[in-house]
Structure 1
Amino acid sequence: MPRIYPFTAFNFAVEINRGESAKPLVSAAFAECDGIEMSMEVKTIREGGVNDRQIRLNGPVALGQLTLKRGMTDNFDLWHWFQDSVSNPRLRANAEVVMYAEDGKTVSASFQLSRCVPVKLKAPALNARDGQVAVEELQVAYETLRFNGITPNDGAAKK
C-alpha cells in the first residue's frame, strides 16, 4: 500500500504565469506563503412556527489575498509585472502553489489561483552591511481558488 504523505508546510513552490505562454512570469523563491483561504457567508432563514431548527443557505464566497514574503530572484520581472498592471488594469496572471511531500519531489496538493493581480510589492530595507533579499513582500489578489488534492496513486513526481 502506498504511503500517504501528510501536508507539510515547509516544502512548497509558487509559480506565476502571465498570458498564454507556458513560461513562468518569474523564477523567485519565497520563504513564506500565506493567504490561501476561502470563507462562505451563510444566510440563516427562520421559518415561522418552527422553533427547533434553522434553514442555512450558502451565500457568497470571499477569497483571501496571497502574501509572499522574503523572496529571492535574479531579475526584475515582478516589478515589471506590477508596472504593467498599473498601465493595463485588465492584465491578469495565473498562479499555482504546490505543496511537496517530505521527499521534496512528490506533490501532496496544489492550489490554483486564477486572474491574479499584484496588489503590493515591497523591496527590503537597503543596508550595505546586510545581504538582504530582493523582494521583502508581494501581495496578490485572485478571483478564483481551486484545490487539487493528490491521492496516493496519482502523486506523480513534479519539480
Structure 2
Amino acid sequence: MADDPTYYPPGAFYFQVQFEGIRSGLDNAFQEATGLGVEWEVEEVREGGQNAYKHRLPTVARHSNLVLKRGFVSSQSELASWCNATLSSNFTTPIMPRNVLLSLLGADGTPLAAWSFREAWPVKWSMSDFKAQENALAIETLEFAFSDFQKV
C-alpha cells in the first residue's frame, strides 16, 4: 500500500460493532467507538552503583476499556438488557461476557480491518446531559472491560 500512489487512508466514520449472540441491527449501530489501544506497563529498576540511568523493563500489557456511544435505545434492546442485568446484579448473578467484533468498513461496506475483543462485559453506562436550550440527541455511553483484543 505504501508504494501504491492511488492508496488513500480509509475514513474512520464507517464502522460496525457486533456482539456475540445479539443480532439486532439497532444494537450494532454506534456513532463512536474509542479505546482501541494497548500499552506496556514499565517497571523501573535501579542497578546498584549505577546512578546515570534506571533499567526500564516491561511487565504487563494494559488495555483501555472499549467505549461505545449511540443514540439512546429503550430497555427493550438485547444489548441494553444485558448491560442492565450486569450492572445492576450486585454480584448476585454471574457476569456473562460476550465477544465483540469492531470492523472498519470501506466505501463499499466490506471490512478493511477488524478487531476482536474477547470476553467483554459492561462496566459503565451513562447518559448525556439533558439541556432544554440545546437541540441534541440523547446519547448513551456504554463502556466494556475485556480480557484481550487482537486484530483479525
- Note whether the superposition's TM-score is higher than 0.5: yes
The match for 1:88 is 93
Could you say what secondary structure the match of 2:95 adopts?
A: coil
The match for 1:116 is 120
Give the CA RMSD over aligned residues.
3.4
Q: How far 1:59 sits from its partner (Å)?
A: 0.9
Could you say what secondary structure the match of 1:24 adopts?
A: coil
The match for 1:13 is 16
What does 1:57-68 align with in structure 2 at a 5 Å threshold?
57-68=57-68
Name the CA shift for 1:40/1:121 in 2 (closer, same or farther; >3 Å). same
1:113-144, Cα deviation, whole Å (9 max, x unpaired) = 111111223456598xx7846x5221111121
Name the CA shift for 1:132/1:47 in 2 (closer, same or farther; >3 Å). closer
Q: How far 1:71 sits from its partner (Å)?
A: 3.5
Q: How far 1:90 sits from its partner (Å)?
A: 2.8
Cα separation, 2, equivalents of 1:117 and 1:25:
18
Name the CA shift for 1:88/1:49 in 2 (closer, same or farther; >3 Å). same
The number of residue pairs the alignment matches comes to 141
The code of the aligned residue for 2:20 comes to N
Name the CA shift for 1:131/1:59 in 2 (closer, same or farther; >3 Å). closer
The match for 2:148 is 144
TM-score by length of 1: 0.67
Name the CA shift for 1:24/1:4 in 2 (closer, same or farther; >3 Å). farther
Could you say what secondary structure the match of 2:11 adopts?
A: coil
What does 1:31-42 align with in structure 2 at a 5 Å threshold?
31-42=31-42
TM-score by length of 2: 0.70
Cα separation, 2, equivalents of 1:17 and 1:25:
11
The match for 1:24 is 23
1:35-69, Cα deviation, whole Å (9 max, x unpaired) = 12212111233434556665432112221111111
Q: How far 1:106 sits from its partner (Å)?
A: 3.3
Q: Return the structure number with greater strand share.
A: 1
